[in-house]
Amino acid sequence: MSATESSLKAKQAKQSLGARIAARAGGGVMRVFLILVALFWLMPTIGLLLSSLRGPQDIAATGWWKIFTAPSEMTFDNYQRLLDNSTITGSLLSTIMITVPSTVLVVVIGSLAGYAFAWMEFPGRDWWFLLVVGLLVVPVQVALIPVSELFGTIGIFETTLGVVLFHTAFGLPFAIFLLRNFFAEIPRELLEAARLDGAGEIRLFTRVVMPLGGPAIASLGIFQFLWVWNDMLVALIFADSESPPITVALQQQVRQFGNNIDVLAPGAFVSMVIPLAVFFAFQRQFVSGVMAGAVK
Amino acid sequence: MTTATAGGAGAAPPADDTTPRPSPPPDPGKSRRSVTGTRRIIAAAFLLPALVLLGALVLYPIGYSVYRSFFDQAGTGFAGIDNYTALFTDATILTAVKNNAIWVVFAPTVATALGLIFAVLTERIRWGTAFKLIVFMPMAISMLAAGIIFRLVYDQAPERGVANAVAVGVHDTFNQSSGFPKARPLPVHPLEKGDGGAFVSKEPIRAGQPLRVPLVGVAPAKMPGDARPAKEAPAVSGDGEKISGTAWLDFTRGGGGKPNAVDPKEVGLKGLTVEAVKDGRVIATATAGPDGVFTLPASADGAQLRLPADNFREPYNGVDWLGPSLVTPGIIGSYVWMWAGFAMVLIAAGLAGLPRELLEAARVDGANEWQVFRRITVPMLAPVLAVVLVTLMINVLKVFDLVFIIAPGSSQDDANVLALQLYRSSFGTDADLGIGSAIAVLLLLLVIPVMLFNIRRIRKEGRR
């Protein structure tokens, strides 16, 4: 059967709900409605973006929409000042120092455990895995008090290490769940062939399982990266208050909201640049990560 | 972020055609027996890092929170269930409980409903992907950034917050903006206080006699820009049949003016509305010109002059979005903005998997699009809708950042939610870790049904 034929057929069959609503209920109205919704959805972000491009006096005096009538007002001074501000640049560095290790650790530790759950034999394997599944929905709030006391005792409260460990621990249930399910579908023959070639458990893991798990690992990595990068609560409690990540640094500015939009708006945008770039570059992996987290 | 409801094994591989997609082994349970004859010590080594971290930072905290929630603020005295009672008696915490209930009911429902609408409408639109990208994008940014974005949207000042700019714009289109909020007559003036903020003349209008409407109390900066020096109205207007008058600001800058007289430097109250009222009915209305002169018809003779209250209303300042009553709906709005895209993407994926033949068959049988949607699409999507709703509910239970950022200090108590209260109780100035732990345990209890559901589902899949 030719693929084109079946896809054509599918296309015809699929020209259904949306197309017919369009035809019968007035496609024009629907299109206009969707365009309005899209603009409505974009507007808050555009408002912040345009505000970040206006000088403090302009922000205080008039709304960002005035920039459309006076485009000459646009300036990058806010960004210039922001990048000269060592607190902000330092906090960006802190964010990276927290996000990268957390992501790497979750991927590595999650892969190890995921592989063990998928392909190794040990007593109570399925029970241990159910325990991990149970931990999927545990809210981080449960751990805030106990872990801050625990970290205090062992001396890593308000350190980057503490934040990284916390994020890693709470990223693990999802990581193990996702990777175990993915690894379990690797064909047994592949592993056996590698085994016959003399590969040991570690070689099997690094040379066969990890490469084959690429797509799932990519989804997981992107997911964890965005999750940690965007986190504020955990950092608020566990991060070093001398060098907080960008979310906490900006949060400290919010109390003055209204007088410092020229700092907050560009700051928020700088903090959004990396997540948005990751989002646009890896949409597919991001979406599949989201789907794996929620739906079958 | 969304790591909530567990999917099955099929959920794991991303929809990527280049992925090796092996056909599942005939009997998963048995065929996944180790190919290497693993020694237990190796299995333990692979598992150890994960189990240590999960044990120390997830499992142990659960136990400790439960334990700690039965002790008092100092952590030394056994408190029984006092901390739990406090959750439902302390006014601030009770607000948090109530608000969380509002959140859990409305935020997931609205986000899912919008997601469903968007998914269905964009399904076969050529630029549907672009639309989805726009609506989905907020999921990639932090709640902090979203909070700052919406703090700006909801800003009270109409010249900053777009929500109030629209509110004021709409309001002023339908209601003339009032010109002279604090204007009032002096006792020597021929005017006195009327009903409901209006001012009325002490004497009735008489034909042939020019009317005087002097007021004070308008800041010069607030005067209409094109107001001109006031002109004394002629005793009888041109055709002799009309009654005219002057409304002016009876105040000379720098002093020197006489009260109740039109002095040269005094300007007209441009735009002031005057009415002639006879027997409680308005029989004529006029508006003062730039020089303050207005003209009433001759029929106004004998009527009372009235300056309606509309002249003196405070200018409309927009809606208090972040005030006590609207702050929670407002923040829920920002949440929906972030998460409707999530619902839309999942529902769109479910939609793509519906059997087309069924929908076609219904149409052939004469069902209209609404019936198809209502009777076939929605019921068939029910499992997806349920997963989306549950995922969002779990997520909403823990909402913190948005409330923390958007609610200004003054209305943070009104916007309170459990996660915020937990933070305040645990890390605030007079922290009570007993209360904080009790809130944590409550949050955990609320997600336990989902936890059990996930476990049951995985067990079922394992048995298959």
DSSP secondary structure string for all residues of A52-92: HTS-HHHHHHS-GGGGGT-GGG---HHHHHHHH-HHHHHHH
pLDDT digits (tens, 9 = 90+) for B391-417: 899 999 999 999 999 988 888 888 999
- Nearest CA to CA, how far is A127 from chain B (Å)? 9
| Pairwise CB contact (< 8 Å): A215 & B14 | yes
pLDDT digits (tens, 9 = 90+) for A176-206: 999 998 888 888 888 888 888 877 778 888 8
> What is d(CA A45, CA A68) in angstroms, rounded to the nearest whole number?
16
Q: What is the pLDDT of residue B232?
A: 76
Q: Is the per-residue pLDDT at B340 higher than 90?
A: yes
pLDDT digits (tens, 9 = 90+) for B150-192: 988 888 777 778 887 888 877 777 765 557 777 888 888 888 8
Q: Is the per-residue pLDDT at B33 higher than 70?
A: no
Q: Which of B93, B59, B435 is nearest to A143 (CA)?
A: B59
More confident residue, B433 or B159: B433
Q: Report helix, strand or coil for B193.
A: strand
- Six-digit token string for A118: 């998928």
A260-to-A207, A264, B148, B158 alpha-carbon distances in Å: 52, 6, 11, 17
| Pairwise CB contact (< 8 Å): A215 & B356 | no
Query: Where do we find the tokens 């009372």?
Result: B304
| Pairwise CB contact (< 8 Å): B35 & A192 | yes
Contacts A283 to B, Cβ<8 Å? 133
Contacts B442 to A, Cβ<8 Å? none
| Pairwise CB contact (< 8 Å): A169 & B56 | yes
Give yes or no for B31 touching A (CB within 8 A).
Answer: yes
Q: Which whole number is the average pLDDT over B243-257?
A: 79
Amino acid at B372: V
Contacts B426 to A, Cβ<8 Å? 144-145
Q: Is the per-residue pLDDT at B58 higher than 70?
A: yes
Q: How confident is the model at residue B20 (pLDDT cuts 50, 70, 90)?
A: very low
| Pairwise CB contact (< 8 Å): B51 & A113 | yes
ipTM: 0.85
pLDDT digits (tens, 9 = 90+) for A33-75: 889 999 999 989 888 888 888 887 777 777 788 778 777 778 8
Q: Is the per-residue pLDDT at A296 higher than 60?
A: no
Residue ranges of the alpha helices (H) in B90-219? 91-122, 128-136, 143-153, 162-174
> What is d(CA B98, CA A62) in angstroms, rounded to the nearest whole number?
38
* Chain mean pLDDT for chain B: 81
Question: Residue B30, class by beta-carbon neighbours within 10 Å (0-12 exposed, 13-18 middle, 19+ buried)?
Answer: exposed
Strands B211-215 and B243-249: parallel
Q: How confident is the model at residue B236 (pLDDT cuts 50, 70, 90)?
A: low
Question: Of B31, B40, B136, B148, which to mutate for an interface test with A (greatest number of A Cβ within 10 Å)?
Answer: B148
Q: What is the pLDDT of residue B65?
A: 92
Size of interface A-B (CB pairs under 8 A): 414
* Facing residue for A143 by CB, picked from B50, B61, B351: B61
Q: What is the pLDDT of residue A15?
A: 54
- Six-digit token string for A12: 């015809």
B391-to-A293, B5, B338, B430 alpha-carbon distances in Å: 9, 6, 14, 34
Q: Is the per-residue pLDDT at B3 higher than 50?
A: no
Give yes or no for B41 touching A (CB within 8 A).
Answer: no
Contacts A276 to B, Cβ<8 Å? 137, 140-141
pLDDT digits (tens, 9 = 90+) for A114-158: 998 988 888 888 889 989 988 988 999 999 999 998 998 898 888
Q: How confident is the model at residue B307 (pLDDT cuts 50, 70, 90)?
A: confident
Nearest 5°: CA angle at A83, between A78 and A85?
Answer: 95
pLDDT digits (tens, 9 = 90+) for A247-284: 998 888 887 776 788 888 888 988 999 999 988 888 88
Number of Cα atoms under 13 Å in the Cβ half of residue A206: 4
Q: Is the dihedral of CA B376, B380, B384, B386 positive or negative?
A: positive
Which of A3-17, B84-98, B237-251 has the highest mean predicted lDDT (pLDDT)? B84-98
- Other residues' Cβ atoms within 10 Å of the Cβ of residue B416: 24
Q: How confident is the model at residue A107 (pLDDT cuts 50, 70, 90)?
A: very high
Contacts A139 to B, Cβ<8 Å? 394, 397-398, 419, 440, 443-444, 447
